[in-house]
Amino acid sequence: MAAPALGHAEREVRFPAGTGKVPTYRQAPASPRLVVCKPESAGLIEDYTGWLRTLNERLLAECSYRHIQAAVNDVTERGTTIYVLPGTYREEPSRAAPSPECAPLEGRDLLSYAEQYACPNLQQLVAVFGDETPGGDDYSCDSPRCDLQLEGTGREMTDVVIEGGFKDDGTWEKLNGIRSDRADGFYLRNITTQLFEFNGVYILEQDGFVIDRALARWNEEYGFLTFASDHGLYTDCEGHGNGDAGIYPGSASPLNGRRHSIEIQRCNSHHNALGYSGTAGDSVYAHDNTFHHNSAGVSMDSAFPGHPGLPQNHATFENNLIYSNNVNYYGNVWDGTCAKLPRDRGHERGVVCPAPPVPVGTGLLLGGGNDNNYVHNRLYDNWRSGFRQIWVPAPLRGENDLLKFRDTSHRNRYTRNAFGVAPDGRVLPNGLDVWWDEQGDGNCWEDNT
């Protein structure tokens, strides 16, 4: 049985020790701090009022950097905050031709941590690396850039933009916008990332991170991707216009119900191929979010190889709105739009080129997972189905042990969910409320309406 292909492979990773914690926000103006601004920042803050204007004017007077990466490179003390004043940051120095040492790596998607550390801007505009001994077995954060807070000082998330865009030949400029790699304690707040080939924000092998009031849009694959990480929090974020998922907590630390590794709350993911992707999304607690106007709202699965922690298990989805996930972006493939150069497709106008095959019209798809809880969610106006659960044979993820062949889609619980009615009382039915392939043991549907 052939395994599905991935758009971009992940390097071989291991889960963090889990001894960290979710970082705490440091109120502005925090110290120690560095300040980044653009020539246009002064004009952009002129219409701010009150405390926000006072803060920005104070920080503007302290500004010593024009590029975020330069400030990251100059961090000398753990627990530093980098304030980024309003403006669009294209990070021109990060776009320079690679050094002779890094040039042989150009064009390779899959780089080791040591290669990334040696060539930090080969694939991303802003790179934060926390492990300064890349050749050793200790992955812990031992850098001054541990516990780094990167915060935009604008009134809206879109006041501070990190933009990738396109090269002169029309191809993507960079794979990633912001990459935080083994940099435990990273806190991202009030910043937009847009127009990258892989991810707007990429967090990898990390024990402790927060994505707070951040927007990721118009990326070829993911808005936010966190992988092989623990003690993470997404809060009040937004993802739209992404070719795969707006939010993807992939291979979250598998804690088997002892606690949650990643929490996602009050986020809004819309107009993507998927609102949420959870391949090996283990021990994730997603609550009070909105997933709407995607091709499919939520997917968690055990179908793709190369993801530690499979089969997927122990996620909890509670009190989410999952509705109107009926947008068919595959027309952009059929009519040739997605075959054009990235520059010419119209990503900034909302064109989405879907990376994965998804069942359009599905609210929440469980494609081979165990011990998940779905409670008190509201699903409506998904033309195919509200919930959809299917068994995924182990060979799809590269597991050919016959004892594992039927090891998914067991002990999932669907309780107290509401179907077909919007919060304002409008009747907007799903095609089917629940579809199940009748595979797996111990699954339960109870007290749904």
240-to-128, 173, 216, 243, 392 alpha-carbon distances in Å: 24, 20, 7, 9, 28
CB 236 within 8 A of CB 263: no
Q: DSSP secondary-structure letter at 380?
A: E
Query: Residue 6: its pLDDT value, please?
Result: 46
Helix/strand/coil (H/E/C) assignment for every residue in 312-371: EECCEEECCEEECCCCCCCHHHHCCHHHCCHHHCCHHHCCCCCCCCCCCCEEEEEECEEC
| Cα 112 to Cα 110: distance, rounded to the nearest angstrom | 7
- E strands, 137-244, are 149-152, 160-163, 176-181, 186-189, 192-194, 199-204, 207-212, 215-217, 222-227, 230-235, 238-240
In-domain check, residue 1: no
Q: Give yes or no: residues 165 and 241 share one domain.
A: no
Candidate from 148-157, 244-253, 262-271 with smallest mean pLDDT: 244-253
Closest CA to 170 of 345, 348, 342, 336: 342
For residues 126 and 93, give the distance between their C-alpha atoms in angstroms, rounded to a whole number. 10
SS3 of residue 210 by DSSP: strand
Q: Same structural domain for residues 189 and 227?
A: no
Q: How long, in residues, is the chain?
A: 449
Q: Which of 164, 196, 228 is the last residue of a domain?
A: 196
Q: What is the mean pLDDT of residues 400-404?
A: 87
**Confidence band (pLDDT; 50, 70, 90) for 290?**
very high
Please tell me the total count of domains within the chain: 2
| Alpha helix ranges (H) inside 9-96 | 41-44, 50-62, 68-73
Point out the domain boundary residue: 143, 164, 196: 196
Q: Quick check: helix, strand or coil at residue 53?
A: helix
Taking residues 270-295, report their average pLDDT: 96
In this structure, are 184 and 261 located in the same domain?
no
Within a domain: 20: no
In 3D space, the residue among 147, 118, 115 whose CA is nearest the CA of residue 130 turns out to be: 147
285 lies in the same domain as 369: yes
- Categorize the per-residue pLDDT at 1 as very low, low, confident or very high, splitting at 50, 70 and 90: very low
Q: Token pair of 286, please?
A: 């997603």
The answer as to whether 344 is a domain residue is no
Mean pLDDT to the nearest integer, 329-336: 98
Strongest mean pLDDT among 139-143, 238-242, 355-359: 238-242
- pLDDT at res. 5: 38
Domain stop point among 196, 231, 246? 196
| 212 found inside a domain | no
pLDDT at 8: 61
Tokens of 212: 């707070």
Structural domain includes residue 181: yes
Give residue for tokens 């968690």: 300
Task: Indicate if 162 and 292 belong to the same structural domain.
Answer: no
Please give the C-alpha separations between residue 338 and each of 86, 111, 170, 195, 223, in angstroms, as whole numbers.
32, 27, 13, 15, 18
Give domain status of residue 280, yes or no: yes
Q: Pick from 83, 87, 84: which is nearest to 44 by CA?
A: 87
Do the beta carbons of residue 249 and residue 226 sit within 8 Å? Answer: yes
Mean pLDDT of the chain, nearest integer:
95
Question: Does 224 share its domain with 358?
Answer: yes
Same domain? 192 vs 270: no
Q: Is residue 206 part of a domain?
A: no
pLDDT above 90 covers a percentage of the chain that reads 85
The pLDDT > 70 percentage for the chain reads 98
Instruction: Give the domain range for residue 285.
Output: 218-338+352-449
Burial 410-440 (b: 16+ CB within 10 A, else e): bbbebeebbbbbeeeeeeeebebbbbbeebb
In a domain, 5, yes or no: no
CA 150 to CA 131: how far, in whole Å? 18
Q: What are 407's strand-pairing partners?
A: none
Neighbours of 59 (CB within 10 A): 21
- pLDDT classification of 406: cutoffs 50, 70, 90: confident
Tell me, yes or no, whether 36 and 146 share the same domain: yes
**Type and span of the H or E element at 263:** strand 262-265
pLDDT in tens, 43-84: 999 999 999 999 999 999 999 999 999 999 999 999 999 999
User: CA–CA separation, 388 vs 382, rounded Å?
Assistant: 11
DSSP 88-136: EE--GGGGSPPPTTTGGGTT-S---HHHHHHSTTSSEEEEEE--S-TTS
Give the pLDDT score at 2. 34
User: Do 46 and 189 belong together in one domain?
Assistant: yes
Q: Do both 107 and 227 map to the same domain?
A: no
* Same domain (yes/no): 115, 178: yes
Mean of pLDDT values over 340-352? 97
pTM: 0.96
Predicted confidence band of residue 135 (pLDDT cuts 50, 70, 90): confident
384 and 327 both lie in a single domain: yes
